[in-house]
Amino acid sequence: MEATTQARIQTWLSGNYDAETKATIQKLQAEGNEKELDDAFYRTLEFGTGGLRGIMGVGSNRVNKYTIGAATQGLANYLKATYTNEPISVAIAYDSRNNSKYFAEITAAVFTANNIKVFLFEALRATPELSFAIRYLGCKSGVVLTASHNPKEYNGYKAYWNDGAQVVAPHDKNIIAEVEKIASVDDVKWDLKPEHLIHIGADLDEAYMAEVLKQSISKDAIARQHDLKIVYTPIHGTGITLIPELLKRFGFTNVNVVAEQATPDGNFSTVVYPNPEEAEALSMGVALAKKLDADLLMGTDPDADRVGIAAKNRKGEWQLLNGNQTAALLFYYMLNAWSEAGKLTGNEFIAKTIVTSDILNKMAAHYGVKAYNTLTGFKYIAGVIREKEGKEQFIVGGEESYGYLIGDFVRDKDALCSAVMIAEMAAYAKDKGLTLFDLLVDIYGKFGFYKESLISLTKKGKDGVAEIAAMMENLRNNPPAEIAGSKTMTMLDYHLQEETDLFSGNKCPLHFEKSNVLQFILEDGSKISARPSGTEPKIKFYFSIVEPLTNPDNFEETEAVLDAKLQQIISELHLN
């Protein structure tokens, strides 16, 4: 074990940490569990550009009272240095994870101890409502305690700025610097000042839901299709707080919640991962949808910022749609509905991330709407909305990882509003005699059959971090000349901020913030992206290929061609 790791352990054993924490460390020492001690203390859990996320437990590399407290103290110090002559308030929310409420109370206590007013939700609430609350209450910042869709062992701390978006430059780096200055547990002010604490709840719910109701476009279609059979599962998370009520207020009368997953539960007892991207997480929902012969299945993650859906395909079988497919449906619905309503003036825009399907750019061009591509992370989409506010009209934004935003009253991905708008979209399609899958096939016929896939490779521990770094460097220094019979034309390196023509060697600048992402564009239009996750010990590879779909009857045949090509690409990159 390295000397720095041993020093951190000793600091925790001799410092002002509680007796239970010290006893846990001593037990690990007595058991000779050096691997666990090393992983828990080999570094200080990094406060990244989005905040903290990690496994809960004792240690400097874990999410616990002390790492949460240090993060909050650093953020409080930065807020006080930034707003020297202004009153400061923050909003705090938490999800259904184990310890989320406890960590929210710790966060609130530290802020109040620093004479900062705190608006704390009285019970669990979704991340998008926290984003809304920051702007609605005029807060300077906000925090939500969540690890999103990670396994039950994880928790996290997401920091927001005064526009309701996750912090971006220069605030992100400046907050990190302040957090890193917290050298000791004694630097944290722990004692709650009750006079600075205000609990919030129902009034915020009503204000938020009023904004969601304004987004509805196809009220007549809902009225005719109000008994659309909807199955919804919150997967033991916060979506249960508002989604059923929102669906009711939109006018839907046949909403069926998966009873076994309706109760908030930090152990996520019916699933392996509480992630709507995983088929297993939605399996109970699919079973109920089959039993009821439903029209639509929706599921949200623990903090209700991501939504996954399923619908019957052309064979009548239930099929989970990936994030790009749902985005294609939702963006098309919003653009087409705005067009039909005569609301498009040429001053509207959509926003998507660079790893999300380019079919969305084609749609925007078709409707005369601008499309902005951002780095991965919804804070960048929020940044575009902030930059264009008062100049251009935002319609819809999204990313392939199941996060979407409709309207600009929230500045983060919002599964609450997205879920009810997806239900409205399904009612609109049914009113025209179409299933959602029929509508998707129609979209492919108009804009091209885009097929996307994602592979995530998990590399745990500090060895995994080094392995991921080595993989990226190898790709950067030795780009593949040809993949699946198609030449690699261009490499986009968002870390070096340059685009390279791999034939001429010519380079031109990429006007994006620096990010460790590589993209390869092939001669046939295929796009391959590699990106280490910013929140998990993973490296992600994104694949996108396209073929024309001239006849809906050729859907299965065209899909087979695309699937075969995807498998060839994955095989040649040795990722299967």
Residues annotated catalytic, as ranges = 148
Distance separating alpha carbons of residues 364 and 348, to the nearest angstrom: 9
Distance separating alpha carbons of residues 492 and 476, to the nearest angstrom: 10
3-state secondary structure 395-409: EEEEECCCEEEECCC
Cis peptide before 170 (omega within 30 of 0): yes
Angular region, 516: left φ>0, alpha ψ -120 to 50, beta rest:
beta
Distance separating alpha carbons of residues 243 and 426, to the nearest angstrom: 16
- How far, rounded to the nearest angstrom, does the alpha carbon of residue 566 sit from its chain's CA centroid? 25
Residue 481 neighbours by CB distance under 10 Å: 9
Cα 92-93-96 angle, rounded to 5 deg: 150
**Kind plus residue range of the DSSP H or E element containing 76:** helix 65-82
Q: Within 236-322, where are the H helices?
A: 243-250, 283-292
542 within 8 A of 569, measured Cβ to Cβ: no
Residue 306 neighbours by CB distance under 10 Å: 27
Q: Letter for the amino acid at 252?
A: F
Please name which of 550, 314, 531 lies closest in space to residue 437, comparing C-alpha atoms: 314
Distance separating alpha carbons of residues 22 and 165, to the nearest angstrom: 37
First to last CA, the chain: 34
Distance separating alpha carbons of residues 132 and 409, to the nearest angstrom: 6
Q: What SS3 class is residue 152?
A: coil
3-state secondary structure 329-359: HHHHHHHHHHHHCCCCCCCEEEEEECCCCCH
3-state secondary structure 523-553: CCCCEEEEEECCCCCEEEEEEEEEECCCCHH
Please name which of 431, 522, 515, 429 lies closest in space to residue 479, comparing C-alpha atoms: 522
319 within 8 A of 309, measured Cβ to Cβ: no
235 within 8 A of 261, measured Cβ to Cβ: yes
Distance separating alpha carbons of residues 506 and 99, to the nearest angstrom: 52
Distance separating alpha carbons of residues 485 and 478, to the nearest angstrom: 18
Q: Letter for the amino acid at 379?
A: K
332 within 8 A of 363, measured Cβ to Cβ: yes
- State residue 167 phi and psi, 5-degree precision: -60, 140
